[in-house]
Structure 1
Amino acid sequence: MSYLSRSRSVYGPTTSTTCLNKDDEDDDDGGGKTDNNNNNNADDHPGASMKQRTRIGTWNVLTLAQQGKLIQLANEARRMKLEILGLSEVRWLNFGEHRIPSGQILQYSGLRGENAPRHRGVGFLLSAQAHSALMKTRVRNLTIIQTYAPKFSLSYDAADLQDKENFYSQLNATVDRIPKGDIMICMGDFNAKIGSDNSNYERFMGRHDLGEMSENGELFAEFCGNNDMVIGGSLFPHRRVYKVTWVSRNSFTEYKIDHICISRKWKRCLLDVRNKRSADIASDHHLIIGEIRLRVARIPRQEERVGRQFNTRRLDDTTVKRSFTVELQTCAADIPEGGSVEDQWTAIKNAFNVTSENNLEERRGAKGAIQRSKTRGAIYSARQRYSALEKKVKRSCRRDKRAWADSLADEGEKVAATGDIRLLYHISRRLSGAKINATMPVKDAIGQLLTDPTDQLKRWFEHFEQFFQVPARPPSPRYDPPRVSEPIRVVAGVRQGCILSPLLFLIVIVEILVGAIDREPNRGLL
């Protein structure tokens, strides 16, 4: 799979294409379904055959400027096994890349300037395998556009309409720059309802959608028709709960306004589009996942598979620890004594997993309680419990950040006592909030984006070589000493040859001698 890594800051759309070639993941939920109609070039390039399912997604996260949001997003993306995750409302300033400790890469683009307001902004979260395989494509490029469209309003304001038209004009300009042979996917928060009635729109949308078409939906449908794209979410039949992408705070209003579109010529590559309600980042939007049949080649690397990870820090709470111990003892009592070793191990593992799910994943269970509630009273109670847990998580993030800052401050005091200025500088940078891992895109001399680290180093070498190059000095003019027969030109404020010139010369000499005598009267002239 390929997509170029470039970003541009416009109101909503941000393009990001990267060239990836990665092996299919063994643990993908899509399994190993194969396609007999493989690309003809797949035999020549085995790493580029289009066989396996790859997961991409889009999510309006509301903000990544809050403490702990980025780490939570990375954990959810890894849990959902997403290779590429498009993000709306990132709310980060400027543009660049940020490496997360888990190995994932966040490419973001927002408003320019240090004092710019923190709103809007889009980005991509790439898996570690995806980012490490940036190289030239072997079969075909996949260009992905992440967008965040203006919100729809009930009032027919001329300014709002002009804002929407500007958005789609910029989006069309972005699409026009994409090579015609690329597989193009456009996804994000379009704030557009397209409805289930596809009359006169059969060419680029299906009937499996919700509600009725809105004004934003008409603009969105016109964009898809003009660019020969199909709306993926309307092609696949699902239950209503798997189609909804936005839920109001009171859980009574539900819309489908986030979409994934693909070039109509390549719509068979898109296998499914649906939401994932279990993904949780305290947003009123659901995560939208699309599965595409594109294989990406992975750099061979031995990685140890680990099981599910639980929040074991909750065991520091005495109440949680007691509940965990009691429930685990109850489950352990039900384990049969007879049977094979494998059966006993499976029963023990299930006991630990069930106990951990019930005691160490409280917030995720709280969101599921909201979705399972049937009455308004139950929904309100579940929502209140979820809000309380959300506040608890935010307080925990702030507490962890304070503890982290205190530990860095203690380390800085020890380093200052030893005189290690270099390490003290790095600690001060981390405490000040400077993004040490942030990198900016590198382009060559003609403006093309460089994704290979070797090419980027070469470009930096060329830049500094030109910057520090000292220009050659021009040759000094030839100097011929005057001959005795030539008159020496003297400029003393009077015309050469004037009768006063010798007199002025003697006056200057006398003044010099008098000054010398006044400074050192004891030495005299000799």
Structure 2
Amino acid sequence: MQVNTNESRLPCDPPSNRRRDASGARVEKWVTGYVGVGDQAPHGKNATGNSVRLRDIQKIGTWNIRGLLEPGKLDTLEREVTRCGLSICGLSETHWRNNGHFLTESHAIYFSSNDDKSQNGVAILVPKQQRHCVLGYEPVNDRIISIKLKASPMNLNLIQVFAPTSTSSAETNEQFYADLQTVIAKIPNRELLLILGDFNSKIGANSQQYSDCVGKFGLGTRNERGERLMQFANENNLIIIDYILVKSRWRTSILNAHTLPGACCGSDHELLITKLRLKLRAARSPTKQKRLEVVDTEKFATVFEQGWAEWTDINQSEATPDLLWNKAKQLIQSAVAESKPPVEMRKRQHWMSDSTLALVEERRHKKAQGVHVNELNKLSATIQTNCRRDYNSHLQGICKEVEKHATKHESRDLYHKIRVITKSLPSKTWAIEND
């Protein structure tokens, strides 16, 4: 099989047959995505099908969530991301270990963390219905992760970062920007690039030296980290918009960037959101008409016979071909629409109880009202206690069902419940090449 080398791919792109040279010292061959090969885009060989439409408004956010090891915090975070209507959300300080991806009820999560310590860590949340748009992702280290999505009219590249704090050494900070520079160099100039995350820096108000990459309405006094960030942006022709970095050629595509103080997941940082839309002149393409499909033939015939009485009301002397055609088309379309079976919407049960969700909403409202931080901390502690209790009861219920299925030799239901507990993805289906 020949691989097209003209198209640029990420090192963790599933169709690529190269060795993984960007995920540490390990040099394993990409195969089927079992343990040890956890940085491939899920489900499928290529990102075919729907793509992200960049001409529509896309809400992209980034959030320092200060750890996701507490029970129920990830579910609370996903609810906030869904409530705020975010298309994609980058996360900093996940405190997870290793790197890879997994699926939840509503999102596909791609993460990169430290292998030995539960510190730092970055991740990117993609809605579950858009996971097929992921062309590939690269977990660089516990501070940088990049992901490429299939989008129209061009691919979208996102880099989520968590920069070293002011207490870190200068060598650590320089190594961070060197790794970030290496990731940017792999992205083609014709593709859209956004750099999100927590840069742990202060730009300040006086930025005359770097007026091309930052505006004049900064706050506070610039520190050394802010000076290094502006220097990095100036060298790579990037524009800083509320700590979101974008190429200068795409600066008009950023409609606005702002924080949401009302969003709450138990972190003392605010959610930063940017609205993105490419202002390009779209090429006109002929619209494709959907083909009408009759599901229930008997019901379609009944509805069609009932609507046939309208033809007797038409005056034959005044009837024109256009009038007859519109009447016939409307009759057929209405009969097809009424003959379709109703779509059943089933609400998925969640392990968090209603009382715990009510406490989460109460904490969010109190944070928006400006309640003191001590009261919010007490409420967060109560939420954590309730989440542990609810999750334990949820696992106990699943274990009882597993025992029942094992007793009755119901292997399909048994392994389904086991996958629910372990949250493991199905094996990949693309072919294994022989060296």
Q: TM-score normalised to the size of structure 1?
A: 0.55
Match of 1:289 in 2: 273
Displacement of 1:186 in angstroms is 0.9
More helix by share: 1
Match of 1:123 in 2: 123
Where does structure 1 lack aligned partners over 5 or more consecutive residues?
A: 25-47, 154-158, 234-258, 317-355, 371-378, 440-455, 468-526
Instruction: Call closer, same or farther: CA 1:59–1:360 in 2, change over 3 Å.
Output: closer
Match of 1:409 in 2: 399
Report % sequence identity: 28
State which of 90, 95, 99 in structure 2 corresponds to 1:91. Answer: 95
Displacement of 1:366 in angstroms is 1.6
Contact 1:20 1:137 in 2 (8 A): no
Displacement of 1:369 in angstroms is 2.9
Report whether the alignment pairs 1:435 with 2:435. no
Report whether the alignment pairs 1:173 with 2:161. no
3-state SS, counterpart of residue 211 of structure 1: coil
3-state SS, counterpart of residue 186 of structure 1: strand
Instruction: Call closer, same or farther: CA 1:457–1:63 in 2, change over 3 Å.
Output: same
Encode CA deviations 1:153-202: one digit per residue, 9 max, x unaligned: 3xxxxx71111011111111111111121221111011011011111110
Instruction: Call closer, same or farther: CA 1:285–1:140 in 2, change over 3 Å.
Output: same
Displacement of 1:132 in angstroms is 3.7
Instruction: Call closer, same or farther: CA 1:129–1:110 in 2, change over 3 Å.
Output: same
Displacement of 1:436 in angstroms is 1.4
Match of 2:309 in 1: none
Encode CA deviations 1:283-303: one digit per residue, 9 max, x unaligned: 1110000111149xxxx9x99
Displacement of 1:427 in angstroms is 4.7
Structure with bigger gyration radius: 1
Instruction: Call closer, same or farther: CA 1:392–1:410 in 2, change over 3 Å.
Output: same
Report whether the alignment pairs 1:276 with 2:253. no
State which of 457, 460, 470 in structure 1 corresponds to 2:429. Answer: 457
Where does structure 2 lack aligned partners over 5 or more consecutive residues?
A: 1-8, 14-21, 25-38, 136-149, 280-289, 291-342
Match of 1:62 in 2: 66
Match of 1:109 in 2: 112
Amino acid paired to 1:437: L
Instruction: Call closer, same or farther: CA 1:385–1:214 in 2, change over 3 Å.
Output: same
Displacement of 1:16 in angstroms is 11
Please list, as runs of the form range in 1=range in 2, the aligned pairs for 1:498-517 lying within 5 A after superposition.
none
Contact 2:51 2:133 in 1 (8 A): no
Amino acid paired to 1:392: T
Contact 2:253 2:276 in 1 (8 A): yes
Contact 2:133 2:151 in 1 (8 A): no
Contact 1:63 1:89 in 2 (8 A): yes
Report whether the alignment pairs 1:150 with 2:164. yes
Please list, as runs of the form range in 1=range in 2, the aligned pairs for 1:217-366 lying within 5 A after superposition.
217-233=226-242, 259-294=243-278, 313-314=354-355, 361-366=361-366
Amino acid paired to 1:87: L
Figure out how many residues of one structure are paired with residues of the other and give that number.
323
State which of 371, 375, 384 in structure 1 corresponds to 2:374. Answer: 384
Instruction: Call closer, same or farther: CA 1:436–1:51 in 2, change over 3 Å.
Output: closer
Runs in 1 of length 4+ with deviation above 6 angstroms? 15-21
**Equivalents in 2 of 1:83, 1:5: separation in Å?**
24
Instruction: Call closer, same or farther: CA 1:139–1:94 in 2, change over 3 Å.
Output: same
Displacement of 1:281 in angstroms is 0.9
Match of 2:6 in 1: none
Amino acid paired to 1:185: L
Instruction: Call closer, same or farther: CA 1:185–1:19 in 2, change over 3 Å.
Output: farther
Match of 1:81 in 2: 85
Contact 1:270 1:291 in 2 (8 A): yes
Contact 1:19 1:137 in 2 (8 A): no
**Equivalents in 1 of 2:183, 2:367: separation in Å?**
38
Q: TM-score normalised to the size of structure 2?
A: 0.65
Match of 2:193 in 1: 184
3-state SS, counterpart of residue 267 of structure 1: helix
Match of 1:491 in 2: none
Contact 1:193 1:213 in 2 (8 A): yes
Encode CA deviations 1:470-495: one digit per residue, 9 max, x unaligned: xxxxxxxxxxxxxxxxxxxxxxxxxx
Match of 2:294 in 1: none
Contact 1:90 1:122 in 2 (8 A): yes
3-state SS, counterpart of residue 218 of structure 1: helix
Contact 2:51 2:152 in 1 (8 A): no
Instruction: Call closer, same or farther: CA 1:280–1:149 in 2, change over 3 Å.
Output: same
**Equivalents in 1 of 2:213, 2:344: separation in Å?**
42
Encode CA deviations 1:95-133: one digit per residue, 9 max, x unaligned: 22211112x111111123xxx111111111012343244
Report whether the alignment pairs 1:161 with 2:152. no
Contact 1:4 1:16 in 2 (8 A): no
